[in-house]
Amino acid sequence: MTDNPAIKSYLAIAEKAISEALPAEGERPASLSDAMRYAVGTGGKRIRPLICIAASVAVGGRPEDAARPAAAIELLHNYTLVHDDLPAMDNDELRRGKPSVWAKFGEADAILAGDALQARAFAAAAMSPRSADAVVAALAEAAYGVVAGQVEDVAGSRDVPFVYAHKTADLFVAAAVMGGFAGGGSDDDIRRLRTFAFNLGMAFQYQDDILDGDSPYGEEKTAALAKEATDAALAALAGLPGDPAPLACIASGLLNRRV
């Protein structure tokens, strides 16, 4: 996916915006700024900011239009990961092959770093060059949805589609919708992007289950669900006024990934 020249350029835009949205390295209190930068810099694929930027292009906007919203969705995503790893949640000492934030900085600083990442996410969203109010609202909707999904997951909910829709797909939807608003998309464009991203988020989770070997549906059915959801995502791109090819590239790349 990142071999695509357009995607490479989007990644550079996203990385710059993410860095600018974070406090400077060592900024007082250093324990907070260092934990925040560590959380965001530990090897993430930047899928959500790439979707955000590609969505702006798909509605006829520029990649740069979605730089701030892209940073916002990545900061929010990493806030959820920092809190998910805590002993009270998943109790994970590793994240992306490195010590999780709480394992490296302690539980208190991990909680506060997550809180601060969420605050910085909304600050970045508010800097969207277009429709900042709609961008912030989309981010807020996703932030609540992820928490709702986590509550159900921690409680051992058997409603797998609900958990997947909120813990995973909500952030994909927010990424696409925020990029669409920032790029000047119409109501119809936003509707198409929402359908695309919801299905892509579900496909992403199904593929994750296959890679992790823990699908509740079995591998064969899960692979079929991932393919079906990806096809639905790609179909939703028809009619967008800009270039939807980067979004299609992202969708195909996620379905075929091996890690």
Task: Please tell me the predicted confidence (pLDDT) of residue 212.
Answer: 87
- The DSSP bridge partners found for residue 94 are 99
* Per-residue burial over 160-170, b = 16 or more CB atoms within 10 Å of its CB, e = otherwise: eeebbbbbbbb
Could you give the percent of the chain with pLDDT greater than 70? Answer: 99
Q: Which residues contact 150 (CB under 8 A, 6 or more apart)?
A: 80, 84, 89, 166, 167
Q: Indicate whether 200 pLDDT > 90.
A: yes
- Which one has a higher pLDDT value, 215 or 68? 68
Mean of the per-residue pLDDT values of the chain: 95
In angstroms, the CA 21 to CA 201 distance is 25
- The 3-state DSSP class for residue 94 equals strand
pTM of the model: 0.96
Q: Degrees (nearest 5) of the Cα angle 205, 211, 166?
A: 15
- Identify the CATH number of the domain in which residue 17 sits: 1.10.600.10
Are residues 96 and 77 in contact, defined by beta-carbon separation less than 8 angstroms? Answer: no
Task: Please tell me the predicted confidence (pLDDT) of residue 68.
Answer: 98
Task: Please tell me the predicted confidence (pLDDT) of residue 198.
Answer: 98
Task: Please tell me the predicted confidence (pLDDT) of residue 181.
Answer: 98
**Which pLDDT band, with edges at 50, 70 and 90, does 1 fall under?**
low
Task: Please tell me the predicted confidence (pLDDT) of residue 12.
Answer: 96
Tens digits of per-residue pLDDT, 152-178?
999 999 999 999 999 999 999 999 999
Q: Indicate whether 88 pLDDT > 90.
A: yes
Task: Please tell me the predicted confidence (pLDDT) of residue 43.
Answer: 74
Structural domains of the chain, count:
1
Task: Please tell me the predicted confidence (pLDDT) of residue 111.
Answer: 98
Domain hosting residue 197, numbered range? 5-255
Q: Which residues contact 248 (CB under 8 A, 6 or more apart)?
A: 234, 237
* DSSP 8-state code for residue 114: H
Task: Please tell me the predicted confidence (pLDDT) of residue 164.
Answer: 96
